[in-house]
Amino acid sequence: MEETMQNSNGIAENIKQVEDNIRSACKRAGKAPGEVTLIAVSKTKPLPMLEEAYRHGCRHFGENKVQELIDKYERMPKDIKWHMIGHLQRNKVKYIVDKAYLIHSVDSIRLAEEISKEAVKKNVISHILVEVNIAGEETKFGTSKDDAERLVREISLMPSIQVEGLMTIAPYVENPETNRQYFAGLRQLSVDIKRKNIDNVNMNVLSMGMTGDYEIAVEEGASCVRVGTGIFGERHYKTV
Ligand SMILES: *Cc1c(COP(=O)(O)O)cnc(C)c1O
């Protein structure tokens, strides 16, 4: 996977490389490249790097912290679609419900209820994905595979919140092929739920695949991939 870890290159080259890789994966999977949305995961990265990605065509950005998403939302061009991809605390929902284009990380009834309540107040529709812990890892957020349909059904009854599909964070692995089974599993789960024709539920979005494994995710049916390191380079977290 060396070609997906272009940390020494510039952002422009990285984006081009990732887009090429997505195109090739689409071709292998027999789908049109336009069917996959690249989300540039810009968490921890400073504005000039986001601006460079924007200049090179990125319009979807992913953040995992509410405050950081709001700060960047205020400062960046208004045609950007902001994706909330990180664990979301209920007391922070009110700050982003009218700013996030898609919330990827809904994994409980109580969180969904809070999103619904705040969306009603602000008179918006909140578009969300149900996060599924498809590999059953103890350390991960996300609903279990078995509970996903029940959660989708309950959310479908709430006002001003719209289920658009499923999201998963696959395990961190050396060999990305290991995650193929999980991507295929999430895809199958979304097909199974779609077949139930639940009112008010779309299963059109499958958010899966990160820098290490997005090509495999696309081959297995991802409709959006979340790539951070592969575009912006390694992240350096401040230690407090
Ligand atoms: C950080 C993050 C990513 C991007 O990870 P990379 O390995 O840097 O591509 C994708 N999805 C989620 C939910 C993340 O938190």
* pLDDT > 50? residue 22: yes
Residue with tokens 């921890």: 44
- Ligand 1 pocket, residue 222 CB under 6 Å: no
Shortest-distance atom of ligand 1 to CA 232: 8
Q: Is the pLDDT of residue 6 over 90?
A: no
Is the CB of 217 within 6 Å of ligand 1?
no
- Tell which phi-psi region holds residue 127, choosing left (phi > 0), alpha (psi between -120 and 50) or beta: beta
Give tens-digit pLDDT for 114-164.
999 999 999 999 999 999 999 999 988 999 999 999 999 999 999 999 999
161 close to 125: Cβ distance less than 8 angstroms: yes
Alpha carbon of 228 to ligand 1 centroid (Å) = 6
The band of 1, judged by pLDDT with boundaries at 50, 70 and 90, is very low
Beta pairing, strands 81-84 & 201-207: unpaired
Q: How far is the CA of 208 from the centre of ligand 1 (A)?
A: 10
Residue 5 has pLDDT above 80, yes or no: no
Q: How confident is the model at residue 239 (pLDDT cuts 50, 70, 90)?
A: low
Q: What is the mean pLDDT of residues 44-68?
A: 97
Residues with Cβ within 8 Å of residue 81, at least 6 apart in sequence: 59, 60, 61, 101, 102
| Cβ(85) – ligand 1 distance below 6 Å | yes
Confidence of residue 236 (pLDDT cuts 50, 70, 90): confident
- Using CA atoms, how far residue 40 sits from 22, 52, 96, 130, in Å, is 13, 11, 18, 20
Q: How far is CA 214 from the centre of its chain?
A: 12
Dist. CA 180–CA 34, nearest whole Å: 22
Mean pLDDT score of the chain, rounded to an integer? 94
Instruction: Measure 122 CA to ligand 1 centroid, in angstroms.
Output: 29
Top mutation candidate among 4, 226, 227 for ligand 1, by most atoms within 8 Å of CB:
226
